[in-house]
Amino acid sequence: MQTTTYDTTPEENPRAILVSLVTDEVKRSGIDPVYSLDELVALAETASVQVLTTLTQNKEKKDTKWFIGKGKVQELKVIADELGANTAIFDQELSGAQVRNLEAELDLKIIDRTQLILDIFAQRAKTREGIIQVELAQLSYLLPRLSGQGGNLSRLGGGIGARGPGETKLETDRRHIRGRIDELKRQIGEVEKHRTMQRQRRKKSGTVQVALVGYTNAGKSTLLRELTDADVYVQNQLFATLDPTSRMLELPGGREIVLTDTVGFIQNLPHNLIAAFRATLEEVNEADLVLHVVDASSDMLSDQMKVVDRILEELGAGGKPQIQLYNKKDLCTPEQLELLPEDEQNLRISAYDKQDLDKLLNRLQEELTGGTVSYRIPAARGDLAAQLYKIGEVISQEFDESDILYEVRLHTGEAEKYAHLLEDYKL
């Protein structure tokens, strides 16, 4: 797939050198720079970039003008000439001035990690909501980076207005972008309203929500598809899913819940992107239970889990009941498998293994079912009996004079929503 945001003609696919600068700050951040660069390669390939080689520099601090050291810039120039590169992609975020300086000196297209991720999102966005969110993130990234030449605007594919009388092009561009950002925010406000309404409706109906979250490529969409036959996009690539998809799922006891697939997370997920996707990510906040899907075969398993936990915290969903699903166990070595916990909160599974899916469904059934409670309800109160069927599974009923004695296995979620109505009839 050809990206739309590179200034390359279709004949000239991006041929890139990937560059990482390991500063003291990067070391302190706890992100493994080698892994981060590997991930950048995967991201670039996802965006149809041909990766020629990688280049790393260790340096105390970044260079204000060039980002990497001046000597390294020259080295990059020689390598780019030798390999016929037309693009350099940096693993850390660059300032607008650094991009311009490097572009002028190297005659290469200069892109950073954030921009690459934004590009991939732009390629993937299919729904109106996704498209608005990505454009907002792109413009928020671009605005502080606009140069005097206004050259960066071409990356947006035009459409942004003409020069006003007596104004510099830069100011006009900025004004138009701000206007567009306001408009997109307004549209997102509408999306948010719509989603809130949808959620309220679901809440009213008392249906339990379960969200699949996790690092990109962990297997969330595969699980949704295997569990519900949903027609969702599954790909061995990063950020295959952008828009949340929800499906009904029937648990072994016959109860139906809603299962939602969400956008994958990645370390250094651009802040603009999280902000823009907040409306979508709110789905996670509404969930009664979070299923954290992990690629158990990844060498970076624990780092990936930390990233997901951190983003969940940021979204305010850190305290939600959570079950870890160690997925892709079929790809794990025996040593890897041995390290994985397996108990109530941690399941080892393969999304393609029917038995594992049954194990997961049974676990969900347990997790979403509270204890059993007995009620004595007057036989005339059909309205109350109807409530009982909402809060759980009625496992027995028995007439006792003018009352009926019920035994109910509570559904967590619904039980909390309706139990107060029946409080007085509890035995």
What CA–CA distance (Å, rounded) separates 203 from 207? 6
Fill in the per-residue mask, 362 to 381: x = in contact with ligand GTP (CB under 6 A), - = not in contact.
--------------------
Residue 302, number of CB atoms within 10 A of its CB: 11
Burial readout 189-199 (b: 16 or more C-beta within 10 A, e: otherwise): eebeeebeeee
Taking CB within 5 to 8 Å according to partner kind, which of Mg ion, ligand GTP, none is near residue 235?
ligand GTP
Chain positions 54 to 83 lying near ligand GTP, rule: CB under 6 A, are none
Q: Which is nearer to ligand GTP, 200 or 235 (CB)?
A: 235
35 near ligand GTP (CB under 6 A): no
355 near ligand GTP (CB under 6 A): no
Chain positions 217 to 246 lying near Mg ion, rule: CB under 5 A, are 220-221, 240-241
CB of 293 to Mg ion, least distance (A): 9
What CA–CA distance (Å, rounded) separates 25 from 58? 11
Alpha helices in 216-353 (DSSP H): 220-228, 271-276, 278-286, 301-314, 334-339
Taking CB within 5 to 8 Å according to partner kind, which of ligand GTP, Mg ion, none is near residue 35?
none
**318 neighbors 214 (Cβ within 8 angstroms):** no
Among residues 289, 288, 263, 285, the alpha carbon closest in space to that of 276 is found at: 263
* Strands 245-250 and 256-261, bridge-based pairing: antiparallel
Q: Which is nearer to Mg ion, 76 or 258 (CB)?
A: 258
Strand partners of residue 287: none
Fill in the per-residue mask, 161 to 200: x = in contact with ligand GTP (CB under 6 A), - = not in contact.
----------------------------------------
130 near ligand GTP (CB under 6 A): no
Annotated binding site: 214-221, 239-243, 261-264, 327-330, 350-352
CA dihedral angle for residue 70, residue 73, residue 75, residue 78, rounded to 10 degrees:
-130
The stretch among 99-107, 337-345, 350-358, 398-406 that binds ligand GTP (CB under 6 A) is 350-358
CB of 266 to Mg ion, least distance (A): 12
